[in-house]
Amino acid sequence: MSGKKAISVESGGNALLLPISVSVLLVDGDSTCLAILSKMLHWFGYKVNTAKRATDALCIAREREGELNLMLAEAHLPDMDKYELLETVGEISKLPIVIMSADDNENDMLGGLFKGAAFYLVKPLSMNDIKNLWQFAFIKKTDTMVTAERLSGFSSEGTDDQMLPNKGKRSDQDAKRKEEMDKNEQEDNDDYSVQKKPKLIWTHELHNRFLQAIGVLGIDGAHPKKILQYMNVPGLKKENISSHLQKYRLSLKRERDTVETTLNQDYNESHVLLCNLSSTVNVLGSLFQFPEMQSMTTSCQPESRSQEQKNENSCMSMHSLGSAHALNHVGPSCNDILDCRHGQLAPTRNQEPARQLAPTCSGYAGIRINNNGKLAGFHQMLDFNGEEFVEENMASSNNVDSGLEGAVQWPPSLTRQEEEKGQQQQHLFVPKPSTEDHGEHDINCAERVGIDEFFDTTKVSTQLFIDENFHDLW
């Protein structure tokens, strides 16, 4: 009782002993999937209940409300779509749900998460996915669910509940206070739950949707009202958007400024660099789109202030917008990326054959701002299947040695690509498929990173410190 208990999770590759028995309700219409997943779950020591239809799953969820810890459900069930399932389960219990599906597009993933899913896994699931699954059995209430609940919970005014320093909230995490406790806004004299205006927490999902909205609306049309309309999140107020937008713009400006000052710094030092820069870019031009080039050059030559205003979507000049579009590189603090772009042949006259680079290769190069406010170049590339990454950070910017240099001479030693295989290291720029799985989907990556901050699942042995409250969740 008193204090904390340490439970260690061995995951050295052998059978993993879960800290506590985790009971999973597995729902998949496909018998084969059901069998395989069930086996995988068993391997790690999960208790498994299975269902082939959503209705069955709901029954089980109802019957065994106390026993179950997590639902792992296929998105496409014969009798119910995933939204309906999420909604219904949400009504009858607080069971966290992980949705799995072969769909890996933004909409499907975002949609599921917004409807309250604890996580979204893209099939096929790896052993690692399964291994880490147990986390979601209780991560939901603290992160996704709280916001989801609050956002969908009150439409007009109901401002109840708890979402503060989630420390002192014990077991009264009522799952079923869903039903309209509108006017019962008791001023209860007890310590908690006074919080007139509960702060909105901008989760990754919310922020991603925010970015998505801006991406769609375009930089010119991205005003609070429109964004709010687009995001369409119940409970979200225009003021929330405004505030967030303000912060967002500030971050953009900060980055722009950093680029500018660094460039100016370097400008004195080396015109040569700029020459190199443009010529290199031409070379790259045969390979890459480099939308940020404009603003980079204009910042050196202030008179040509005729940039942007182009609403040609998909290729906007603000980094985070780009990220918003291909949610790919949005991480927990998605403003680390100044500029990144995917490759594809650009219709420039090819001045030089770009090395040995095969045309089907893609990747991106760019500059990012380190914590110390300096610029650093990086590049990252995918192989032909888009599966394997090589990421390399260039020298960080100094007074003399501009990080730009690194960024610009892009294909540094492509021929030696094989040399630096694997997951080298995760630098500050993490949002990429990091673990041994295939690297595909965005949100997963972002979420994984976020989660890993709390549960260091990549370590061989993890220690969880939990106290009595923990057990209330089970």
Partner DNA sequence: GCCGTAATAT
Partner DNA sequence: CATATTACGG
User: Which is closer to DNA, CB of 113 or CB of 125?
Assistant: 113
For 332, left (φ over 0), alpha (ψ -120 to 50), or beta? alpha
Pairing status of strand 362-369 against strand 375-382: antiparallel
Least Cβ distance, residue 222 to DNA (angstroms): 7
Least Cβ distance, residue 342 to DNA (angstroms): 28
User: Which is closer to DNA, CB of 61 or CB of 214?
Assistant: 214
Report d(CA 42, CA 130) in Å as an integer. 10
Residue (of 408, 463, 464) closest to 473 by Cα position: 464
CA distances from 76 to 85, 112, 205 (A): 10, 12, 22
User: Which is closer to DNA, CB of 70 or CB of 222?
Assistant: 222
In this structure, the number of other CB atoms found within 10 A of the CB of residue 375 comes to 26
User: Which is closer to DNA, CB of 243 or CB of 409?
Assistant: 243
Least Cβ distance, residue 233 to DNA (angstroms): 12
Tokens, residue 456: 């260091």
Least Cβ distance, residue 359 to DNA (angstroms): 41
Residue (of 166, 158, 159, 160) closest to 140 by Cα position: 166
The helix/strand/coil state of 80 is strand
User: Which is closer to DNA, CB of 123 or CB of 226?
Assistant: 226
Using CB under 7 A, list all residues that contact DNA. 197, 199-202, 222-226, 237-240, 242-247, 249
Least Cβ distance, residue 194 to DNA (angstroms): 10
Which are the contacts of 394, defined by CB distance < 8 A and separation ≥ 6? 376, 377, 378, 379, 403, 405, 406, 407
User: Which is closer to DNA, CB of 42 or CB of 225?
Assistant: 225
User: Which is closer to DNA, CB of 242 or CB of 294?
Assistant: 242
Least Cβ distance, residue 303 to DNA (angstroms): 22
Report d(CA 60, CA 50) in Å as an integer. 9
User: Which is closer to DNA, CB of 197 or CB of 349?
Assistant: 197
Helices 106-114 + 442-454 axis angle, to 10: 40
Pairing status of strand 375-382 against strand 389-396: antiparallel
Least Cβ distance, residue 249 to DNA (angstroms): 5
Helix (H) or strand (E) holding 55: helix 54-63
User: Which is closer to DNA, CB of 185 or CB of 352?
Assistant: 185
Least Cβ distance, residue 240 to DNA (angstroms): 4
Least Cβ distance, residue 236 to DNA (angstroms): 9
User: Which is closer to DNA, CB of 35 or CB of 194?
Assistant: 194
Report d(CA 274, CA 260) in Å as an integer. 14
At CA 399, angle to CA 396 and CA 402, rounded to 5? 45
**Residue 98 · residue 120 · CB < 8 Å:** yes
Least Cβ distance, residue 228 to DNA (angstroms): 8
CA distances from 404 to 265, 289, 294, 337, 342 (A): 12, 17, 15, 14, 18
